[in-house]
Amino acid sequence: MRYSKNRGRLFSRGLCQRFLIVTDGVVTERGYFERVKYLTRDSIRIVARSSKDIDELVNIALVMKSNSDYDFVAVVCDIDQRLQNNKTRETLERAIKLAEQNQIIICLSHESFEVWLLAHFGNVSSRAKERNQAQEMALKKGIVRGRDGKVVVREIITKESILVALKEVERMRKVYGSDILTSAPMTDVDMIVKKIRLTP
């Protein structure tokens, strides 16, 4: 048995999976996964770094993975500025390859994490392919708040809304395409979220 700080209870190894999530979203993404921690018995460690360099995020994940026993390790970030030119695209593709070689799940959102948040309401509009549009829609839906619209309204994130999001992303892949680098709006955040076991 081992102690889980998230719940203040003991869970056997068979009942509690360990997740490491490294993200460049120090407010929105971090707030989202902090909420998810309360919807699961799994242990989730969130490391948020304000970095435009995805290589740095992958390297952080690699170091932390080698120093601990995680069941799943993921890097969660937006594409937004990472496809601006050949250099940034090459950096992104190199980071994806390095992550895959080391069993790290890369979860990108094209163009922003708000696409994943909007999926919690189902039927994500094609207008969400533009970052500012996705952010404005998330504000109107009430899933984010604050001066910059970055703070996740945690009460909206429930087991039921997550299940809606997982189903909606499958629909989006059929409609908008499954290649995250060329399809928008699109998100791969479901690749890590679907592995988290939500409590009944």
List pLDDT tens digits, range 115-161: 999 999 999 999 999 999 999 999 999 999 998 899 999 999 999 99
| Local structure of residue 48 (DSSP, 8 states) | E
As a dihedral over the C-alpha atoms of residue 169, residue 170, residue 175, residue 179, rounded to 10 degrees, the angle is: 80
Residue 137 corresponds to which tokens in the numbers above? 């829609």
**Single-letter amino acid, residue 13:** R
Q: How many residues does the chain have?
A: 200
Cβ distance 38 to 1 under 8 Å?
Answer: no
Q: What is the pTM of this model?
A: 0.90
CATH level 3 topology of 2-193: Rossmann fold (3.40.50)
Taking a C-beta distance cutoff of 8 angstroms, is the pair 74, 44 a contact?
Answer: no
Average pLDDT, the chain: 91
The 10s digit of each residue's pLDDT in 151-196 is 999 999 999 999 999 999 999 999 999 999 999 999 999 999 999 9
Q: Residue 82 — pLDDT band, cuts 50, 70, 90?
A: confident
Cβ neighbours around 9 below 10 Å, total: 11
Give residue 1's pLDDT band: very low, low, confident or very high (50, 70, 90). very low
Q: Delimit the domains of the chain by residue range.
A: 2-193
Residue 9, sorted as left (phi over 0), alpha (psi -120 to 50) or beta, turns out to be beta
Express each pLDDT in 26-43 by its tens digit. Answer: 999 999 999 999 999 999
Residues 6+ apart with CB under 8 A from 69: 18
